[in-house]
Structure 1
Amino acid sequence: MPDHRRLSLAAGVLYLLTFVTSIPAAALYVPLLAGGAHPDPSPTATGAVLEIVLAVSCIGTAVVLAPVVRRVSEVAALGFVAARTTEAALILVGVATVLTLSALRVAGAAADDPSAELLVEAHRWAFLLGPGLIPAINALCLAPALYRGRLVPRAIPIVGMIGIPLLLASATATVFGVFEQTSPLAAAAAAPIALWELSLGLWLTFAGFRNTAVDALV
């Protein structure tokens, strides 16, 4: 197996792993963040482990793609690694807040306790600035490079480039209170970036980079 195929396979699997970990983690946090009845700490701990794996997977996608992407643009490759690392750091900030909140709830803190409310808000902002915003920066670095290098079908990075301004506008609107992070508008704005990452993960896993495109970059 050529080196670039190993790298694309690793990147694809890691991309798919980000979906496998992030979606269940978000669901597991709902009882704690909603502030209802005192939650069992086990789902929160499970979600935290999933998000730690998510953070490592985020960095992994950039590290394994960088050797190929840098042949198209070294700036894009470095930018992608930096953006993915920032996203992972914000994910871990979110993990720290939910684990602290869970500990407070186990200790008997009420949902309306000021410390608990502060931690819920901290998690909300960490999520917005991390998985809610940085994927647009990731796409800004990676999608044009993949498009120019013809490393994957051009329709895939085009979807990513369409999603960049939509996600940036949605995150900005959320910061200014135009709509909530969980609103239908926010979900619609995030859909193209989610589709770009999913389609890229599937393509890299099952097809890999185009051999002729990789050879042309040598």
Structure 2
Amino acid sequence: MSKDRRVALLGGIAYLITFAASIPALPLLEPVTDHADYVLGAGQDTQVVLGGVMELVTAFACVATALALYPVTRRVSRTAALGFVSSRLVEAGLILVGVVSVLSVVTLRQDLGGGTGAPAGLTTVAQALVDVRDWTFLFGPGIMPAVNALFLGTVLYRAGLVPRSLPVLGLIGAPLLVAKSMVVAFGGMDDLSVVSLLLTLPIAAWEFGLGLWLTFKGFRPSPVLSRDSAPA
């Protein structure tokens, strides 16, 4: 297996891991994110912690996508390659803040809640932590994939390393995702509404399609692959 094929394979697998980890994490975290009184009840701590671990895996896989592809993307544009790494780091950081917020609710329930003698205002504190997670989810997985698509999509389109329909899908989906997130942020619609999900679909299709292509097909032949370093 050539070096560039390994780069594509690692990047593709990392993309697929983000889907495999992030999708099941949402229902696992629902006992906390959908119920403000979780901190006072019996709790489903094991399930929630597992969801937090899945989100942790998602964050690491996000960074891995950019680091794995960097040896090739830097040959097209060092600026765009570093931009992609940076945007993935920001996304992963926001995800981690959300994970810590949710798991803090679990710790509050174990230490102070779970009974009639719980301190006053405990539910308010727990809800505040859930609100932090909601905002990090909106600005992390909600907006940063659009920034990622602008950096990586531009590189892949210019170099022709994958079918151009894939980066075009990402470049079209990027402004749609940002617009959706802004409407949600200002209370115009729910983040889980049908319209919201439809506006998210192009970015999701771009990332999933890219993951499949890189994993099973690799990069298309391109002059970029013969370069050892990025142009000046």
TM-score (norm. length: structure 1): 0.95
Partner of 1:68: 72
Amino acid at match of 1:86: V
3-state SS in 2 of match to 1:108 = coil
Partner of 2:215: 205
Partner of 2:127: 117
Partner of 2:5: 5
Partner of 2:179: 169
CA distance in 2, matches of 1:163, 1:42: 36
1:104 is the counterpart of 2:108: yes
TM-score (norm. length: structure 2): 0.89
Structure with bigger gyration radius = 2
CA distance in 2, matches of 1:5, 1:12: 10
CA distance in 2, matches of 1:215, 1:103: 50
What pairs up with 1:79-158 in 2 under 5 angstroms? Answer: 79-106=83-110, 107-108=112-113, 113-158=123-168
Amino acid at match of 2:146: A
Q: Percent identity?
A: 46
CA distance in 2, matches of 1:151, 1:217: 13
CA distance in 2, matches of 1:215, 1:67: 10
Partner of 2:50: 46
Question: 1:216 Cα deviation (Å)?
Answer: 5.6
CA distance in 2, matches of 1:68, 1:163: 24
Partner of 1:195: 205
CA distance in 2, matches of 1:159, 1:15: 16
Deviations 1:4-25 (A, max 9, x none): 1001000000100000000111
Runs of 4+ in 1 over 3 A off after TM superposition: 109-112, 212-218
3-state SS in 1 of match to 2:75 = coil
1:185 is the counterpart of 2:195: yes
CA distance in 1, matches of 2:13, 2:113: 41
Partner of 1:24: 24
- Specify every segment of 5 or more residues in structure 1 that has no aligned partner in the other structure, as ranges: none
- Specify every segment of 5 or more residues in structure 2 that has no aligned partner in the other structure, as ranges: none
